[in-house]
Amino acid sequence: MSVPAVGKVGIWSLELRFGDKAQANEAAAELDELGFGALWIPGGVDDGVPADVERLLGVTSRATIATGIINMWRHRPADLAAWFAALPDAHKARTLLGLGVSHGPIIGEQWGKPLEVARAFLDGLAAAGMAMDQTCLAALGPRMVALSGERTAGAHPYLVSPEHTAQARAILGPGKLLAPEQGVILESDPAKARELAVGALAQYRRLPNYRNNWQRLAFSEAEIDNLDDRLLHALFAIGDAGVAAARVAEHLKAGADHVCLQVIAGGPVGDFAVLRPQWRDLAKALL
């Protein structure tokens, strides 16, 4: 099978997975109709994401449903490959499995060297007959980006800037999928925007792989510890939908094939009354 079509712009949303299922299904159907090429949902620390992929495939007809990411520590490769093999062909064609090694502080004593874990998991998938063109890797560092190009459809970096996109494209070369996530804060008040950005980054700044990546992008430890405005504006498109569109254009110019936008709106998970108007604004600006 070939790499699923994802278009230039998608939506990354934890709400589509963890929000009220009926509301999430209605929102996903609208995003599909609006023309977003892919809908990305997190895998996280549990093993339940395949069921949510199936649910979203069932309420959409065009968009690819992608995972950002399936946690390698929560799934057996053979089980994942068997689940994928059992999907109807029309659904297989719209499924992209983003895979990742998660984070040492989350996994705990089981934690192993990320590249070794990733290689072993990909070996298991391939041995079980998985269509590797329908997988990609969460990749930040150069060696994981390189592995994503060698063994899967490409890379899905998270919490990165267009500068990282340019570096990743240089490593991947042409012809491999590069689909960075891009946080968007549609807020004109600087204080409110900063509050939303700080809230979104609070847990990530403690995780070594993100910290290391931001340092590779020339941010200091102090800027990361203090969540300096320079870091926040590098990682988030802050302003209106036009600002978001400009940031997408930067990623595409730097070598991205697809940019998945995550709206950071605050409030309870699954507040679709807030999210859906903002998604519509992004569609008007980008599609």
- Say if 253 falls within a structural domain: yes
Domain assignment present for residue 135? The answer is yes
* pLDDT given for residue 74 in this prediction: 86
Residues 6+ apart with CB under 8 A from 245: 282, 285, 286
The tens digit of pLDDT for each residue in 238-284 reads 999 999 999 999 999 999 999 999 999 987 666 899 999 999 999 99
Range of the domain at 52: 9-286
Residue 90: partners with Cβ closer than 8 Å, 6 or more residues away: none
pLDDT tens per residue, range 60-113? 999 999 999 999 988 999 999 999 999 999 999 999 999 998 654 555 555 558
Whole-number Å distance between alpha carbons of 219 and 159:
13
Question: Please, are residues 15 and 265 in contact by the beta-carbon 8 Å criterion?
Answer: no
Model pLDDT for residues 16-46, shown as the tens digit of each residue: 999 999 999 999 999 999 999 999 999 877 8
**251, 166 in Cβ contact below 8 A?**
no
Q: What percent of the chain has pLDDT over 70?
A: 95
Total tally of structural domains belonging to the chain: 1
On whether residue 68 sits in a domain, the answer given is: yes
Average pLDDT over residues 205-224: 95
| Residue 2 counted as domain residue | no
On whether residue 141 sits in a domain, the answer given is yes
Residue 3 belongs to some domain of the structure? no
DSSP lists the bridge partners of residue 96 as 66
Lowest mean pLDDT among 3-12, 91-100, 101-110, 181-190: 101-110
Give mean pLDDT, residues 132-141: 97
Residue-level pLDDT at 73: 85
Q: What is the CATH number of the domain that holds 61?
A: 3.20.20.30
In a domain? residue 213: yes
DSSP secondary structure code for residue 2 in this structure: P
CB 137, CB 118: distance < 8 Å:
yes
| 39 found inside a domain | yes
Residue 213 pLDDT class (50, 70, 90 cuts): very high
Q: Full-prediction pTM beyond 0.85?
A: yes
